[in-house]
Structure 1
Amino acid sequence: MFDVRTGRLPREEHVAHGRGSIDDLPTVFSDAEGSWQTSLGLFAMAETCTGQDGYSLRMDGLEPGFNGRARERLIVMHGADRADPAQARRQRRLGRS
């Protein structure tokens, strides 16, 4: 995440890939509904919501053809134990989301 007003990285986050982006190092990506795959590209953070995994932040894809359907795919950012850096080191990957 970075702050577009300041151009700074206020914090570093670890993220889990979509469960459809198979393997430890995903090589398959999609913006298609129902693919459960990670989308590539730049996203803008939008409003908060409460979803399946609790308090979440909606994301809007800024690159049509790569992530422009993020809102309709309900792509959100949320906290999760499976994105813990220590867990990732033990498993050599993060869990799927």
Structure 2
Amino acid sequence: MRRSRVDRRSRTTLPSRVRKAPGIRPGEDDLGWEIRGTHVIARRATESEAEQDPALLPFLRLLEHDVAAHPDRLRTMPEDLRQRLLTVTGGLDVDLDETIEGAVAL
């Protein structure tokens, strides 16, 4: 395990091997922080991650925790709703990896 000390102003220096593993460039890259209970995961953040809605990841974590804690609450989609969705979207060519441009209303 690599270690570094946190100073009185909550700063630390990333050891060289820690910076080099994910390709972190000092003065150029941002770090992304993820909290999982008492563990903190730091990684090089991509530009798109830096621009994401700050509420999205906490909301997804909440859902993940809720599903894990209460799997009995999960329900299948009613067949009539599934059929209606297939009818409404039938024939549409969808690229799930395509970038969404502009505002999205849900």
- Give the TM-score taking structure 1 as reference length: 0.23
Indicate the structure with greater helix content: 2
Larger radius of gyration: 2
More relative contact order, 1 or 2 (CA 8 Å, 6+ apart): 1
Indicate the structure with greater strand content: 1
